[in-house]
Structure formats: structure tokens, C-alpha cells
Chain A
Amino acid sequence: KNEVEQSPQNLTAQEGEFITINCSYSVGISALHWLQQHPGGGIVSLFMLSSGKKKHGRLIATINIQEKHSSLHITASHPRDSAVYICAVRSFAGNQFYFGTGTSLTVIP
């Protein structure tokens, strides 16, 4: 079993839809990251969370430490949001990083 599980694995949405990507983890963490990876491999760090909620433009990330769960929301989705979204956690001990396998999002005009 992976330390980080994401769902769904693949997601297709119509432009304008509200999108939610979920992440569950099984290890104690010091921080959780949401990453965006475009074709070709380049990765952008979207959020780093240790508690609560963060918002950046149309992106919102939440984390529930007790439930070991985080969500990434995209409001008013746009075709340029099409990418793979990866959840990653840094373990509380040992500076280990664990990654989910990613959610491939396609937003159709």
C-alpha cells in the first residue's frame, strides 16, 4: 500500500466546472504539498500545507491533519488547468518524501 493515495486517477471536466482532487496519507507528516506537472515533466509547487486552508487565485487547498486527508479544489476550471496534479508529503521524522501517483486532469473547452 502506498503511503499517499490520490483520487481520482483521471478526471475530465468541462470548462467552468468545479474540480476536487483528494489525497489521503498514512504517515505522520510535517507538511503536505500539492504539485502541478505539465507534459514534458516540469513541476510547479502550488501549495505547502501543514494545517487549515490556503487559496491562490482559483485554487484552494485544504488539509485535515486528524483525518490525514487533503483536497485540492479548482474553481471555474479552464483548459490551461489541464495537467497532472500530485500530492506529496514530507514525513515528520527522517526527511522522507512520499508522492501520490498523480491525478491527470483534462479540461475540455
Chain B
Amino acid sequence: ETGVTQSPTHLIKTRGQQVTLRCSSQSGHNTVSWYQQALGQGPQFIFQYYREEENGRGNFPPRFSGLQFPNYSSELNVNALELDDSALYLCASSAPPGIRGNYGYTFGSGTRLTVV
């Protein structure tokens, strides 16, 4: 059983550019959520995808968008990068809320994005 894999592990982008981060979900999990963690802060919820549709969103602007694919892997896209977007981006997969046996989330190791 594989865990959650995120790619790339590190990335440097220039302000104004666009970035795509990728996440593979754990086997048997069909819900993926994304989080932004700034240095010294707790993670902030960006959004969640279930069955290829966004079903929950935090307080992030529309330039943060996502996709979930039929194999439940996911992408996070950020357009028009700003310096404050520099952070660790974490992905987590889980079974759907309320499903018996959903005992938690499996997190990836994150992608560290630096915007210069």
C-alpha cells in the first residue's frame, strides 16, 4: 500500500509565474485536500476534492485552483504567483467523510515553493 506522494519536493518560481503541484492519493482513498503552511504557522486549508469535484474551500483567492483525476490523484495550480505564496504545500488523502473505517488522513511530505 503506497502513501501519498507529492512532486516536486522543492520549487523556485518568479513572481507572476504559474505553478502546478501534484499529489497522488493513498490506495483506497478518493478524497484529496490541499493545505498551505507558511513558515512558523499551522497549515491553512485551501480546498478539498471528492470524486473529481471541489467540495470544500478555504479562504483562498480564485488564482488557487485544483483538479482531481479519475485515479484520485490531484493537482494544485496557482496563477500569478506572489511573494507571499512562498510556503510548504501539503496534500492529504482520505476516505470520504462519514465512511466507516475513515480513521484519518495520510499526508504527503509537501512541496516547498519559493517565489522570488
A and B interact physically: yes
The chain A residues found within 8 Å of chain B, CB to CB, are: 4, 30-31, 33, 35, 40-48, 86, 88, 90, 94-102
- Given the known interface contacts A40-B109, A47-B104, the answer about A101 and B58 at a Cβ–Cβ threshold of 8 Å is no
Task: Give the Cβ gap from B26 to chain A, nearest Cβ, in Å.
Answer: 11
Q: In angstroms, how far is the closest chain B Cβ from the Cβ of A92?
A: 11
Which residues of chain B come closer than 8 Å to A94, judged between CB atoms? 56
On whether the beta carbons of B58 and A43 are closer than 8 Å, the reply is no
- Tell me whether A45 and B56 are in contact (CB under 8 A): no
- Number of residues in B with C-beta < 8 Å to the partner? 26
* The residue from B45, B55, B56, B102 contacting A99, defined by CB atoms under 8 A apart: B45
15 residue pairs from A and B, CB less than 8 Å apart: A30-B97, A33-B105, A41-B112, A42-B109, A43-B43, A43-B92, A43-B107, A43-B110, A45-B105, A45-B107, A95-B97, A96-B45, A97-B56, A99-B45, A101-B40
Complex contact A90–B97 (CB within 8 A): yes
Cα A12 to Cα B48 with chains together (Å): 35
A33-B104, A35-B107 given; A102·B112 CB < 8 A: no
The residue on B at minimum CB distance from A36 is B107
List CB contacts (< 8 Å) of B16-72 with chain A: 33, 35, 37, 40-45, 48, 55-56, 58
